[in-house]
Chain A
Amino acid sequence: MTGPRRKIPVAACSGIGKSLGAAAREAGCILTEDLRPERTKLVALSLLVMGDDDARGEVAGREAVAIDGCKLECAAKGLASAGATNVHKIAVFDVIRRHRGLKPEGVCDLNEDGLKLARAAAEEAAGIVDDIDKEADHA
């Protein structure tokens, strides 16, 4: 018997210090609310940091998507520490290199370029989600 597929856990940088982190957080929301709401679920990084049982239950033994704002990769590390089997990484600092000319500013209120960057990162993440699903279909 097969049931509905579980949603793919997504963690995003909490990004309180830099615009790229804020763009990562916004990208997580765009992915899970707008682009792939039926296939993804945003997990609070703070809960993963604290080892919350429910949050770990969403992640442990699963493939997951991390969207990070800087090279410290807190979201990816949070997912790995929670037991994700494979962490697929989106690095906003790499995404912006593919979208030269964008100048994201702001943290709580990203400017227009910041929102464009977030959407670009979310679209790359959506591609990863689709790839995970395709692999599952072939398995």
Chain B
Amino acid sequence: MPDLPKKKVGLIACSGEELPEGTVTRRAVRKVLETLRPDDTVTLCLPLFLAGGEGERAFARHYPTIAVDGCDKRCAARATEKYSAKPVASIVVTDVAKECGCAAIGTVRRLNAEGLRLADEVAGKIVEETDRLLKRKAKGRVPGSAGGER
């Protein structure tokens, strides 16, 4: 892994291929990385923990991480803790879905409108945690954040 600037938060999505909630984790993490907090976040590849990705393991040992899991098996959180260090925050999509009343969210390959809304909500949760970890004021209201401009 290349030298990384300080004050980055690592995001680890489970990506679970068996459930549409796994697809939600991917979309939410990518949205934060590409759009909402591109300067503050990096993504870590979960399977690389197993495949011997020393860069991923080292990053997660020394930088704060947020695990984003599709279900309560919490593979991303458990893998991060097993191979590196306990994530500072853990978000589970099925919990967020209950909170925001999301119903059927589509398929693994194609999320429907409800699934896209859920991904936005999860992205909002990730942003909240990122800002909290970096002790930064929120840059604006994002879906899933309770307080808006702080």
Q: Which A residues are within 8 Å of any B CB, using their own CB?
A: 11-17, 25-26, 28-29, 33, 42-50, 52, 72-75, 77-78, 81, 107-108
Contacts and interface: CB of A to CB of B under 8 A. Distances in A.
A91 B22 CA distance: 23
Interface string B24-61: 00110110000000000001011111111100000000
Contacts of B19: 44
B43 A45 contact: no
Contacts, number: 95
Interface residues of B, number: 30
Given A16-B29, A26-B109, A45 B45 contact: no
A15 B23 CA distance: 11
List 8 tightest A-B contacts by C-beta distance, closest first.
A74-B47, A14-B15, A46-B75, A74-B51, A49-B50, A44-B18, A46-B14, A77-B51
Contacts of A50: 73, 75, 78-79, 82
Interface of B: 13-19, 22, 26-27, 29-30, 43, 45-53, 73, 75-76, 78-79, 82, 108-109
A16 B44 CA distance: 8
Contacts of B51: 72-74, 77-78
Given A43-B17, A107-B30, A29 B43 contact: no
A16 B26 contact: yes
A17 B15 CA distance: 11
Given A72-B53, A108-B27, 13 more contacts: A14-B15, A14-B17, A14-B47, A16-B15, A17-B45, A42-B108, A44-B16, A45-B17, A46-B47, A47-B75, A49-B49, A49-B50, A108-B30
